[in-house]
């Protein structure tokens, strides 16, 4: 854990009188587009933060067109897609009315300037482009207004306005922006069209799954646009004086808006509670009436009336100076890199809690969406959905009689989950039985822990342990899980272990080091280099309690940060064979600082890079698996979403290195071809109730062969 003393802070930044949190982290994120200012402030609806990153690129993070896509601010203050795939828990907060973690927290120009002081003192790159930071700070603040406005280079606007690729986003009015009674040369103030206008001008997108080539073509298009936007800004003057003019304009506009739209009178807690209870009763009565109508319609042989999928959204927070200054700080940090941000303490604590235990009450099924359909990707074995006979690939048409076609996945999830021992009725069709049928399912408590494991069926003594994040309890939880699996294994001994880090977006640096050390008797684990201190090298220490099983590390494009430290340490020391897909490629270290001016939020800054044992940084390039394994037996590898797809990411410093496992791969492949079971299991049943985890099965094949060939250590 990195630590800077109070004296060190005062010596290097005497203008700061600081209290801060000694917590060095690798950000808990992986698959993310940048947060729009509204999303960063946890508002109900986000707008694109700048024309360099319109909403459309988020839709190509997953190669399925017309999926329900949404973003929420993650634990690290960045945004992550959540709606394209979800268990039937979703989030403890109402998905349609997210908790405003910034409510009641003061954030003004003094807090903004304090953020800049931390950047000056601790940010990894002292020479980063601050002009871009001032531009994004200004635009994030402007986009918090109603109606939203933004500054654009005039040449960019003139060149792109009217282009079909803009989908109407650059329509709307423009004007010169006045600063000290003079128009800023080469810059226009653009008022964004409203949401209804943009929806009307959105083209009809292709139905079904996009090919990898189509996804890459879309990404190239948006990258070209972003590069043009940045290049045109680079030719213009914009610094603190221009930013101050913007904030003066924002202040004036907010005061005018508030004069025309005074806030509603405050009500007592008792009155608010009574109003909420009344609203909940009305909603419950409507749901009961809809369910009864569906039963009546079914009895009469008539189709039930479909519920309108276009559910009204929660009202957006009104513009105010607190949010404007917060948006400006988020914009400034976002321009530095996609992992630096300001995070409400409550949001961080909630994320940490959810990573440790994200249990919920529901039916136990993983859901996804394609086109307008909600599909069961897999029922969880032994859970209510599985017991009721639901199968992978089943289409959900209705929930308690309410039509869910075209509804956001988060809203479908909200309808399905509920208190344990209550019943939810799903109307289901499947390929082999296209006539929709009702399934009454009793909800249960579903455990979803940060660390969980099981023996792999049909592989004697091979166990898998799934880790979702690296948090304070991870090391203890991992040891406990392995001990439990050892007792369950034949003869009380495991013959191989799969450490499943797929979609593990990272966490605490020191926990990643300790977990890698559990499997290493010697060798370097990771080194950390920052601008302010000497290189830190972390070495493995031998211990009688180290695990010596044949080890496979299973990774995906969602394995990031701390996951990549563990995977590269075990790969470079030839201790664990890496199987799966190339990882995310985030090799930067962030620290949470607790500012002196307020204790309700953290300033998260990128302060260092980390390097694999072989001496190369994983930034952008990620960990290349020793054995590439596609998600399914068809061998199709999705294009994925990684660090290189994020705007403003830190650049790579060099390419990848040859894995020490390279010379052993031919023998392992030959062994797997002879003794492997994955292909046979995957082909056994064309339409199984639970779709086999092909990557996990391939990992089990290689874990078996590591033992057979004596390559465990």
Q: 448: burial class by Cβ within 10 Å (0-12, 13-18, 19+)?
A: middle
What is the C-alpha to C-alpha distance for residues 94 and 62, in angstroms, rounded to an integer?
24
User: Dihedrals φ, ψ of 153, to 5°?
Assistant: -60, 130
Select which of 337, 394, 572, 693 is catalytic: 572
- Compute CA distances 568 → 473, 505, 651, whole Å: 22, 15, 19
Pairing of strands 462-467, 536-539: unpaired
What is the C-alpha to C-alpha distance for residues 329 and 114, in angstroms, rounded to an integer?
10
User: Dihedrals φ, ψ of 451, to 5°?
Assistant: -125, 125
C-beta of residue 53 within 8 angstroms of C-beta of residue 39? no
What is the C-alpha to C-alpha distance for residues 138 and 126, in angstroms, rounded to an integer?
21
Q: 3: burial class by Cβ within 10 Å (0-12, 13-18, 19+)?
A: exposed
Select which of 586, 604, 698, 708 is catalytic: 586
Give the residue carrying structure tokens 């499947």: 430
Q: Is 114 left (phi over 0), alpha (psi -120 to 50) or beta?
A: alpha
Full 3-state SS string of 356-372: HECCEEECCEEEEEECC
Give the residue carrying structure tokens 């390279």: 662
Total H helices, total E strands in the chain: 20, 27
Instruction: Count Cβ neighbours within 10 Å for each residue of 325-341 and write b for 16 or more, e otherwise.
Output: bbbbbbbbbbbbbbbbb
Which token pair is 188?
């226009």
- Compute CA distances 203 → 56, 167, 168, 206, 218, whole Å: 11, 7, 10, 9, 14
Under DSSP, is residue 508 helix (H, G, I), strand (E, B) or coil? strand
Select which of 144, 505, 561, 568 is catalytic: 561
Q: Catalytic site residue 572? A: yes
Cα–Cα–Cα angle for 518, 522, 528, rounded to 5 degrees: 85
The alpha carbons of the chain give a radius of gyration, in whole angstroms, of 26
Q: What is the DSSP letter of 617?
A: B
DSSP E strands: which ranges in 226-359?
A: 341-344
CA neighbor of 597 nearest in space, from 58, 46, 107: 107
Q: Catalytic site residue 307? A: no
Q: Catalytic site residue 586? A: yes
Q: Which residues are catalytic?
A: 561, 572, 586
């Amino acid at each position: 854990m990195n630590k800077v003393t109070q004296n060190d802070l005062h010596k290097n930044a005497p203008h700061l009188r600081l209290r801060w949190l000694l917590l060095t982290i690798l950000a808990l994120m992986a698959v993310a587009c940048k947060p729009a200012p509204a999303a960063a402030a946890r508002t109900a609806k986000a707008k694109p933060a700048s024309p360099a990153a319109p909403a459309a690129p988020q839709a190509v993070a997953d190669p399925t067109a017309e999926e329900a896509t949404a973003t929420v601010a993650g634990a690290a203050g960045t945004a992550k897609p959540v709606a394209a795939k979800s268990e039937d828990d979703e989030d403890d907060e109402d998905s349609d009315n997210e908790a405003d973690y910034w409510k009641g927290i003061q954030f003004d120009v003094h807090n903004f300037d304090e953020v800049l002081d931390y950047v000056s003192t601790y940010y990894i790159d002292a020479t980063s482009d601050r002009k871009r930071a001032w531009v994004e700070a200004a635009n994030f603040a402007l986009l918090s207004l109603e109606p939203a406005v933004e500054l654009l280079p005039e040449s960019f606007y003139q060149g792109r306005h009217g282009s079909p690729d803009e989908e109407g986003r650059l329509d709307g009015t423009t004007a010169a922006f006045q600063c000290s009674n003079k128009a800023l040369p080469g810059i226009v103030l653009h008022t964004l069209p409203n949401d209804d206008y943009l929806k009307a001008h959105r083209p009809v997108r292709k139905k079904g799954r996009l090919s990898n080539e189509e996804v890459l073509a879309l990404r190239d298009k948006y990258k070209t646009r972003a590069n043009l936007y940045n290049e045109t800004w680079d030719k213009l003057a914009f610094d603190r004086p221009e930013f101050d003019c913007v904030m003066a304009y924002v202040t004036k506009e907010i005061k005018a808006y508030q004069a025309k739209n005074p806030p509603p009178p405050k009500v007592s807690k008792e009155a608010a509670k009574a109003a909420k209870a009344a609203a909940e009763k009305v909603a419950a009565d409507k749901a009961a009436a809809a369910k009864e109508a569906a039963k009546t319609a079914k009895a009469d042989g008539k189709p039930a009336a479909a519920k309108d999928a276009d559910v009204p959204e929660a009202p957006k927070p009104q513009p105010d100076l607190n949010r404007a200054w917060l948006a400006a700080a988020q914009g400034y940090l976002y321009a530095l890199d996609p992992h630096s941000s300001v995070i409400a303490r409550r949001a961080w604590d909630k994320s940490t809690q959810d990573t440790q235990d994200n249990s919920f009450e529901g039916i136990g099924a993983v859901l996804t969406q394609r086109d307008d359909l909600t599909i069961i990707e897999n029922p969880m074995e032994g859970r209510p959905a599985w017991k009721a006979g639901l199968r992978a690939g089943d289409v959900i048409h209705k929930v308690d009689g309410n039509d869910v076609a075209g509804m956001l996945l988060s809203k479908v999830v909200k309808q399905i989950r509920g208190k344990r021992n209550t019943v939810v009725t799903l109307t289901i069709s499947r390929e082999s039985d296209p006539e929709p049928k009702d399934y009454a399912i009793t909800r249960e408590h579903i455990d979803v822990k940060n660390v969980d494991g099981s023996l792999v069926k049909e592989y004697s003594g091979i166990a898998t342990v799934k880790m979702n994040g690296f948090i304070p309890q991870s090391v203890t939880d991992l040891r406990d899980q392995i001990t439990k699996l050892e007792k369950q294994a034949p003869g009380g001994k495991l013959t191989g272990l799969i450490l499943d880090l797929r979609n593990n977006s990272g966490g605490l640096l020191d926990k990643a080091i300790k977990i890698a050390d559990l499997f290493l008797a010697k060798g370097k684990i990771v080194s950390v280099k920052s601008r302010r201190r000497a290189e830190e090298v972390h070495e493995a220490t031998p211990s009688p309690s180290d695990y010596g099983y044949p080890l496979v590390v299973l990774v995906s494009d969602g394995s990031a940060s701390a996951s990549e430290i563990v995977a590269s340490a075990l790969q470079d020391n030839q201790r664990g064979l890496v199987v799966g897909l190339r990882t995310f490629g985030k090799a930067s270290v962030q620290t949470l600082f607790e500012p002196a001016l307020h204790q309700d939020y953290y300033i998260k800054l990128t302060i260092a890079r980390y390097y694999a044992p072989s001496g190369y940084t994983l930034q952008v390039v990620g960990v290349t698996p020793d054995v590439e394994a596609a998600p399914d037996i068809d061998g199709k590898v999705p294009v994925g979403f990684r660090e290189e797809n994020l705007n403003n990411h830190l650049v790579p410093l060099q390419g990848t290195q040859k894995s020490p496992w390279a010379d052993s791969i031919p023998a392992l492949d030959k062994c797997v071809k002879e003794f492997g079971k994955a292909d046979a299991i995957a082909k056994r049943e064309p339409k199984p109730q639970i779709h086999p985890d092909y990557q996990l099965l391939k990992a089990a094949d290689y874990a078996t062969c590591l033992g057979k060939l004596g390559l465990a250590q």
